[in-house]
Structures are given as structure tokens and as C-alpha cells.
Chains A and B, each alone.
Chain A
Amino acid sequence: MSADRLLLGGFLAVLLVLPAVLSPYYITLLNYIGLYAMVALGLVLLTGVGGLTSFGQAAFVGLGAYTTAALTTAAELPGWLAWVGASPWLTLVAGLLITATVALVLGSLTLKLSGHFLPLGTIAWGISLYFLFGTMESLGGHTGITGIPPIELFGWTLDEGGEIYYLIWAFLLVAMLTTHNLLDSREGRAIRALKGGRVMAEAMGVDTSRARMIIFIIAALHACAAGWLYAHMQRFVNPTPFGVHIGIEYLFMAVLGGAGYVWGAIVGAGVITVLKQWLQDWLPQLLGASGNFEMIVFGILMVLVLHRAREGLWPILKKLVPVPAVRKKIDDAAAPLPRRTLPAAGEPILVAKNVTRKFGGLVANNDMSLEVRAGEILALIGPNGAGKSTMFNQISGVDTPTSGEVLFLGKPVAGHDSREIARMGMSRSFQHVKLLPTMSVLENVAIGAHLRSGKGVLSSAWRLDRAEEARILKEAAWQIERVGLKDFMYEEAGSLALGQQRILEIARALCADPCLLLLDEPAAGLRLKEKQALGELLRKLRSEGMATLIVEHDMDFVMGLVDRVVVMEFGQKIAEGLPDEIQKNPAVLEAYLGGVE
């Protein structure tokens, strides 16, 4: 048994026996820690992994709590609704549905905007809901709702702290397990790309707006379930625990524990809950006044954590118990992913016709035309500032020409987002390498196969995606081997040299099974050996029928490698032809070396 399994088993065993040895006070404390950790876990996914945040999680907790409180205590429900009030388990479903709907609406309002609109929206929405709970007569106003029945499970009535303890921690552990599974899957890689890799992920076909929505809803559902448990544990609800300031506390838990780590949720919830108990006893005595003075300490503590240990406590704790990382196994028996049929050699794949792009007074591209044919390497070269990158953006659909058009496999590129273009079979690398530095080379490359697979969040959470996952990893491993990075497969991508990172980008693009490869300055900053290796790889790909467009500055790299060359200067084409012709072209020499009489 591996060390991490052993630790986990020990933790579970301790959890199991704790109610037998602890006093009710500590069991209640553990119940709260479990509930808070569940909310914080949602924030781990949202904030630590996805780079978004919400101060309104307490309002989602409130939705779960109030839904079940209102439905299970209502004297008479309208006939069509009556069956829901019959059991807390049904009201849990009702609460989850309501929460998902609200999160969906709120998410669709804010998630397309830049990341700070979501937290601001959640503050406003958290306040609204808090006031709503407090003013609606049917929800008991500020006094709240009492007489909530306990949960029953297989005939047991969970009306003691030591009983519901098991349900709370079972919920939490399931939530942690499914979150952990989700992050280690196709959808999980997409989610992990949200923080700092959105542009790259979109180019690999990931719908990042949808991925943001998914984690926002999952976080809301975790909060809602915690609210449901809370209502049936307390047996009454009032608005106080669902205000924005409690929502802020949840975020503090996630950040303090380690917002990027599933286990950080428990650590954060534990530390904050225990600290709060202690400070609430101690601070009013010290200060000689009563009030929530622990907030002063929490606020300052949070600033210190963000200044000194932004990753939170979990990574620090983890260092104390070194557990070796488990490598992913590549299943050689897995079936290969489906491949697309490449167009016949010589057939035009990409055609740019009279592309002009103006930015205000600047004409970045002027009447540019070029053609890439199947099975050839075309180089687009020119001095710095010639407009190559702008042209690249027109071709890859990142930007839309002012006039003229770009056709890919006969279809116009303009008007399609980078996801659709990736689906059409164009795959690209970036001039400034875009990869997820803390993920392994294998996982980085696997993102490329996003569109060639389809298992969703639920299958990932419950591990029903393993057959497809094995196929994806096998494909990624094969592409890594193909480009010659096999020895680095399990290294962190950020630890590779620049040249290897560029090669990694090509492997990732290949993993999408494209028929056209777009490479933006792949040789920039590479050492001679690395350039030679890259040239070797591109030749090999060509022999396998791949069409490639290289935008380059480095003439030497291009000349021995490509079939045809297009030269740009001042946004225009100044020459086109075979490498030998281009090398002797005086206009090209002039453009490159410059000249002032």
C-alpha cells in the first residue's frame, strides 16, 4: 500500500472513532468544520483552481437551508408541491435544482466579463438575498423558521450531533473525492487551464466560458448541500449565517487552507473555526467590550497570508509529510483516438486572398495573399515589425481582416472563434509559449486532444471516463514520443528549457490531429542544436503528409527546411518563391539587413 493511501486510511479511521471519544462540544465543532469545509471546497475549485471567486457562497448555503426549511415545515403546500415536503431528501433535490438555476442565471450575467465582475456581482447578490430572507414574512423574517424535522436515513433518525456527524463527513468526503476525480480528467484539465491559460485552451477547442460556468455551479451546489445539512442539524434557520460577511469568511477558509488544494478546504475550515471559537472567548475579555472582534484578527491574518504564503497552509503541511507523487500509467492496450483523413498532397488547404488589416492610422497588413498546400511547409518571413504576427492572427481567426478573406478547406475563417477553427483542423503554437507550468508535460499535451474526446463532468467525477482517459493519455504519450520529449513526460512543463517548451507546444498541437499546423516563430530563442531538432521534426511531419505554415524571423532556420517562402515588409508581400530564389532576391536582403545610404 502506498504512503498516501496509508495516510488517507488513517485519517478515515480517526474520523470514524472520533464521536465515540469526544465530548458533544467538540463533535459540534467538527460538524461545523465539515459543513464549512464543504463550502470552502467549492471555493477551492472556483478560486484556487479556476481563478474566479465569489463572496456570495453563504447565500447559496442559505438557499439550500431555506428551501428545505420552508418546504419541510410549511403547514400546507399547494397540491402540486406537497410531495416535495414529504422528506428532507426530496427538499435536498429541490434546493439543488433551485441553486443550480440561480447560479446559472448569475453566472451567465457575469462570467463572460472579466474576473472581478463575478465577485462584485456575488457581493450584491449575497446582500440582496440576505435582506430577502430577513424581510419575507413567509420565511419567518429575522426570527427565521423553527421546527425543521431531522433527516432520516434507512430508518435512523439523525437528531443527535454524533449521528449527523457521519452524514456531514460522508457528504464532505464524497465531495472531495469527486472534486479530486474531476480535476484529474479531460474536463479537469480544461478547468485547470482557466487560470492563466484561457487563450491557449480556447485554441485547443476548450469552451472556457462553459468551464467557468461549470465550476461556478459546482461550487454553488456544494454550498447548497452544506446549507441543507446545516438546516437539519440546527433544526431552525434565520438569516444571520447567510450574510455576505459569512461568505467572506468562507473565502478566507479556502485561501488560508490553500485555495489550490482539495485538502486545503478542511485545513482552512478547521483553523478558522477553532480560531474563531477561541478568539470569541478571549478577545472581548481582553478588549473589555463585546462584539465580533475576531474579524480584526481574520482580516489582518488574511492580508499576511496573501503577502507571505499565497498558496496557503496545505503546501506547507504537505512538505512535512513527503509523499512521492504517483505517475500516470500509459495503457498501451488502449484503443487509438479517431483520426481525420488528411487532404491529398498538393491540394490547397489554406488560402488568404487580398487580406488588409488596419488599426486606426496603421496599415498592418496590406493586400496580402498566400496559399498553403497539403504536405508542404510554407514560411512567412520578414523583419521584425513587418506585420507577420498580424497576418498570423488573420489566418488563425484571432483577428478579422478589414478587407479580404481567409479560406480554410474552402470555408471562411472570419467569424469563427478559435474553438471552431480548432475543430476544423487548424492547430497552432504561440510566439510566447503558452503552457501550464505546474502541470506535467503529459497533461499539457493531453489538452490538445480535448476535441477528440467527449466525456463530461459527471462521468469524470465518478470515474466513468477511464477508458477514454486512457486513450487520451496514450495519444498524448505517443505525440510526446514523436517529438522526442519522452524523457520529460512526467516533468513539470515549466521546468523545461525554452526550446523544449516550444517542442511541447507542437506536440500539443499534434495531439489535436490537425491537417494544418500553424507555428508562430518556433525557432526564436532556440540554440543551434534545438533548431536542428525542430527542423528534423518538421521534416518528419511533412513526410507524413502534414501541411505547415511557419511564421519566422530566422532565415537560416527556414531556408534549409521549407518548400516555399513568402516575404513580408511593411505589411506587404515583397517576394514569394523557392528558398534559393528568395536568398538571392535583393529586395529581401535589403529588408533584412536594412540600409541607410
Chain B
Amino acid sequence: MTTETVHSNAGAAQPVLEVKDLCVSYGKVEALTNASLTVGEGQIVTVIGPNGAGKTTMLSAIMGVLGSKGRVAFDGTLEVVPEVERMVARGMNLVPEKRELFGEMSVEDNLVLGAFQRYRMGKRDHAQTLEEVYALFPRLKERRDQAAGTMSGGERQMLAVGRALMAKPKLLMLDEPSLGLAPLIVREIFRIIAELRRRGVSILLVEQNARAALQVADYAYVLETGQVAMEGPAHLLADDPRVIEAYLGFGKHQDMLST
């Protein structure tokens, strides 16, 4: 599928993140091929696509967890080789698909560790940030002394997001935040994503829950087998039958049935 859509997010006001021709391969298997995307300041940009399309790989490469080829410019500076600690220090944070919490440590310790990089750079305001995060997630405050590993799926996701917010990120990247969560909690998570944008955080959201993601996002990319297959303003893509087709293959199959 070629990019027929003429839309481009290049015109987004003040791009926070600009990725160009990003390639990642595992051994000889190429997982991401020449993927490009832009996140403008204060925007929510979503990347949707079926399982195995390379969404998680893309986030990991931008963050520097995975080695990659291509150009990643963050906050106006080109990163030759993205390096995790540097990206965190510069205000990029990733909430990974697997959450990666510190299971045997308390909720509060998990949160405080989110501010490690700031603390290291001499910005020791984590007590205040902690209160802000607690205000956003009152549930975490109730459970501050509980071990992270004993919490339910929804609470873990909130903790993972809260922990990332402790770093006061400019760009927050969320990998499948609704994964395995009940609808009520998914709604809560998306409410918070919208709230964060209001507070000026730019967000790159990878989702399999396409409807919810397209509803909350400003701009969207559809990833398929490691390539950007489509892109456009989220509200346009939400109504585009080709998205459903690319994403689920539903439409195509029904066509096959009807002919």
C-alpha cells in the first residue's frame, strides 16, 4: 500500500520529534524500514497498526534502547546515536508495553526513581512532583507503600505512567497503554492522556485500540510490516475505510465474501 494520502505532519507547529528514514533490523530480519514521523509540540500523535508491524520496535529505536539507522531529531537537536540516558535527560520518556516496574519495591519508590535523572542533574524537586502525580492518580497515593508487583493491571499502568511523569517529560511515548485493561480503566487512561496534553506534554501514542487512539490524537500514522502505510489527521483516518481494512483486514475479507 503506498502513501496516497497527501497529508503530512511536517507543518506541525514546532516539531518536538522528527524521525526520518528509521531502519531497525534484528540480525538479517528487517523490523522497521524507512519509517518517518513528526510530533509537533503539544500534539498527540498516534501510531496504529496490527501486531508485529514494528510499533514497539519504532519506539525502542527512538528512545535508544535498540540500535537503528536513520535520523532522530529531538527538541531541535539531531541525535547521531540515540542513547537512553541522554534522551531521558533531555526530556523524552517511554512507558513500555511491559510496564517494566520495579516489582519488589514500593509504589512510592517506583515513582521517586522516575525522577532519578533530574535528581542526578541537580533538579531535586521530586517531592513536589510526587504530589502532582498523586493528584493525578489518587489511587497511587492510597497504595504508596504497597509493592508494585502486587497491584492490578490498571494500577500498574497508572504507576508506569506516573513514574514517567516524575521525570517531567517534554515528550511522553506510550506503548499500548490500554493493553489488557478493562474498558473503564482504558477510558481513565485516555482521559489522563488528554489531560497531559492540556498541560503541555507532547505525546507519541502507540495503540492497538485504534478507535480510542484516533479519537484522542491529532495526527496518526498506520504502520504495516515495518513501513508507514498511511498517515493523516486523526479525525480523517478515523473515518477512512482503508484504515479498518489495513488494520484488521476485515473490509477486504468481506469484499471477498461478497464477490
Binding site for B on A (CB under 8 A): 360-362, 383-387, 437, 494-498, 501, 521, 524-527, 553-557, 559-560, 570, 580, 583, 592-596
Q: Is B73 an interface residue (CB 8 A)?
A: no
Output the least CB separation between A569 and chain B (Å).
9
Counting from the closest, the 8 A-B pairs by CB-CB distance are A556-B249, A385-B180, A525-B52, A594-B209, A524-B52, A385-B179, A553-B51, A596-B212
Q: Is B152 a contact partner of A362 (Cβ separation < 8 A)?
A: yes
Which A residues touch B187, using CB under 8 A?
A: 596
Q: Is B14 an interface residue (CB 8 A)?
A: no
Q: What residue in chain B is nearest A437 (Cβ atoms)?
A: B27
Residue of B53, B178, B209 most packed against chain A (CB within 10 A) = B209
Output the least CB separation between A215 and chain B (Å).
27
Q: Is B51 a contact partner of A593 (Cβ separation < 8 A)?
A: no
Output the least CB separation between A561 and chain B (Å).
11
One of B29, B190, B211 near A593 (C-beta < 8 A)? B211
Q: Is B232 an interface residue (CB 8 A)?
A: no
One of A361, A384, A387, A496 near B151 (C-beta < 8 A)? A361
Q: Is B28 a contact partner of A570 (Cβ separation < 8 A)?
A: no
Q: What residue in chain A is nearest B156 (Cβ atoms)?
A: A362
Q: Is B180 a contact partner of A594 (Cβ separation < 8 A)?
A: no
One of B50, B150, B178, B213 near A360 (C-beta < 8 A)? B150
Output the least CB separation between B254 and chain A (Å).
7
Binding site for A on B (CB under 8 A): 27-29, 31, 50-54, 149-153, 176, 178-183, 186-187, 190, 208-213, 215-216, 225, 244, 248-250, 252-254, 256-257
Q: Is A570 a contact partner of B51 (Cβ separation < 8 A)?
A: no
Beyond contacts A384-B51, A384-B179, A560-B253: 20 other A-B pairs, Cβ-Cβ < 8 A, are A361-B150, A361-B152, A384-B176, A385-B176, A385-B180, A385-B181, A497-B28, A525-B52, A525-B54, A525-B225, A553-B51, A554-B51, A554-B249, A555-B253, A583-B250, A583-B254, A593-B210, A594-B178, A594-B212, A596-B211
One of A361, A385, A496, A555 near B248 (C-beta < 8 A)? A555
Which B residues touch A524, using CB under 8 A?
A: 51-52
Once bound together, how far apart are the Cα atoms of A570 and B187, in whole Å? Answer: 15
Once bound together, how far apart are the Cα atoms of A570 and B179, in whole Å? Answer: 10
Once bound together, how far apart are the Cα atoms of A553 and B210, in whole Å? Answer: 14
Which B residues touch A497, using CB under 8 A?
A: 28-29
Once bound together, how far apart are the Cα atoms of A496 and B182, in whole Å? Answer: 39
Q: What residue in chain B is nearest A433 (Cβ atoms)?
A: B29
Output the least CB separation between B75 and chain A (Å).
30
Output the least CB separation between A568 and chain B (Å).
11
Q: Is A553 a contact partner of B50 (Cβ separation < 8 A)?
A: yes
Which A residues touch B211, using CB under 8 A?
A: 593-596
Q: Is B250 a contact partner of A386 (Cβ separation < 8 A)?
A: no
Once bound together, how far apart are the Cα atoms of A341 and B17, in whole Å? Answer: 60
Q: What residue in chain A is nearest B187 (Cβ atoms)?
A: A596
Once bound together, how far apart are the Cα atoms of A570 and B72, in whole Å? Answer: 36
13 contacts between A and B (CB under 8 A): A384-B51, A384-B176, A386-B180, A495-B28, A501-B29, A525-B53, A553-B52, A554-B51, A555-B249, A583-B250, A593-B248, A594-B212, A596-B211
Q: Is B51 a contact partner of A594 (Cβ separation < 8 A)?
A: no
One of B27, B54, B190, B256 near A560 (C-beta < 8 A)? B256
Which B residues touch A596, using CB under 8 A?
A: 183, 186-187, 190, 211-212, 215-216
Output the least CB separation between A165 and chain B (Å).
45
A595-B225 contact given A384-B180, A497-B29, CB 8 Å threshold: no
Residue of A383, A560, A594 most packed against chain B (CB within 10 A) = A594
